[in-house]
Amino acid sequence: MRNAPTILHLDMDAFFASAEQASKPSLRGKAVVVGGLGVRGVVATASYEARVFGVHSAMPMAQARRLAPNAAYLVPRFGLYREISEQVMGLLRTLSPLVEPLSLDEAFVDLEAGGTAWDEASARRAGAKLRADIRAVTGLTGSVGLAASKMLAKIASEQAKPDGLVVIEPGTERALLGPMPVRTLPGVGPATGDHLRRGGITTVDEIAEAGEDELVRLLGKAHGHALYAMALARDERPVVAERETKSVSVEDTYDVDIHDRVRVGLEVQRLADRCVERLRRAGLSGRTIVLKVRRYDFSTLTRSETLRGPTDDPAVVREAAGRLLDAVDTTGGVRLLGVGVSGLADYTQEDLFAQARAREAVEETAAQELPAVETGEEPAAEQVTAAERRWPAGHDVRHAEYGHGWVQGSGLGRVTVRFETPDSLPGRVRTFRTDDSALEPADPLPLVPRRPEEAPGVSAGAPGRT
């Protein structure tokens, strides 16, 4: 282990919920829960105000609603979260070439490798500057932990929450860890924790006292050795720079099982388009198309097809996913669908035959619809689209007269919108028909307005938002 706390762990505070509060003035200081809002939905993130009521991540949404009935319940806006994450990761990479992202809102940084820190004082300065820069660029807060190892840096950032900085000085690790519960250590989940408790072990000190042989007997060789080393504050894992993406995928879980085969096919096409959007944003293509289907009885089927070359063509991915779906029996109902692409590359070598078939299908469909257009009738497909316009709670909209706002809720043919922006006062609420032609989905607005001379991603002096 090092003799200086030069490994940094950053964890953004209640990331999804904080981003929603920053973009919606009327929600600041109030309980906000982000996640799937359907019957089977789960909580992705809860604001600190919601956590007071016992709401936490991975909790069933129905339980969260019982605990905090007056909270704001919002559907995630992953596009916004990814944009903010890219800004934060850009700031981390100014500190060191060794940045190991764990998720959109969490990462390790080796400050020593970047020459940013070499002792406690320089590490503390780097951590404090990072927190200030994150607030200036994103308007959000992050908690920072500094220690001589990854395990301890993560424990430190957890102690720093919310919006703080904690340094664990080398030489103090054993005393700090000793009284902590065994679940504090990485790799000790509910099952392992219960197993240790039945063996009379509930704290980190008791792990160390039990000895390595006893832990191997209880947990097996690999887990026992690793856990004993961590209890003694031994963690030699290096910070590993961002790993290569292996696959890109999207999936949806449905509140009610889908039985209509046509609807299942349409959902697969929609997921294929979303998957390709992610591919293109990452500048990637892929050769293997993967379809995931979870049926009514929770059985999960995965089917795949490998193309002649990598593609990022939505028509090709849609067609391949459709062929895979043809081989799956969905008569009993479908509760989850997913489409993914693997075998990634940073170039395309299109399957021309597949493209030709996809173009022919599009042209044939257009030809079939042409008479209806010529007689002034709206094509049936467009009628369905207009009737089924979805307005997810929390998502951005723009009205031709009232400007930018966000969806508070919808149902029974109506959608309620609050008109406000990140830098406005709390706005007014208005209700419209769901098919109101003046109301359209919109892109999220930046949480912190940027001056024209500022480069995207890094800012030294922009004012922060509390």
Residue whose C-alpha is closest to residue 265's, from 324, 341, 353: 324
Q: Is 106 a catalytic residue?
A: yes
**What residues does 341 pair with on adjacent strands?**
248, 289
**What residues does 432 pair with on adjacent strands?**
415
* Residues 136/179, Cβ–Cβ less than 8 Å: no
The length of the chain is: 466
Exposed/middle/buried for 27, CB within 10 Å: 0-12, 13-18, 19+?
buried
CB proximity list for 8: less than 8 A, separation 6 or greater: 95, 108, 109, 111, 123, 126, 127, 130, 144, 145, 146, 153
* Residues 343/306, Cβ–Cβ less than 8 Å: yes
Find the catalytic residue in 106, 173, 319, 420: 106
Rounded to whole angstroms, the Cα distance separating 188 from 206 reads 14
Exposed/middle/buried for 376, CB within 10 Å: 0-12, 13-18, 19+?
exposed
Rounded to whole angstroms, the Cα distance separating 177 from 183 reads 11
Rounded to whole angstroms, the Cα distance separating 23 from 39 reads 27
Provide the residue type at 426 as one letter.
Answer: P
**What residues does 74 pair with on adjacent strands?**
34
Please report which helix (H) or strand (E) contains residue 11, including its range: strand 7-12
Exposed/middle/buried for 50, CB within 10 Å: 0-12, 13-18, 19+?
buried
**Which positions are catalytic?**
106
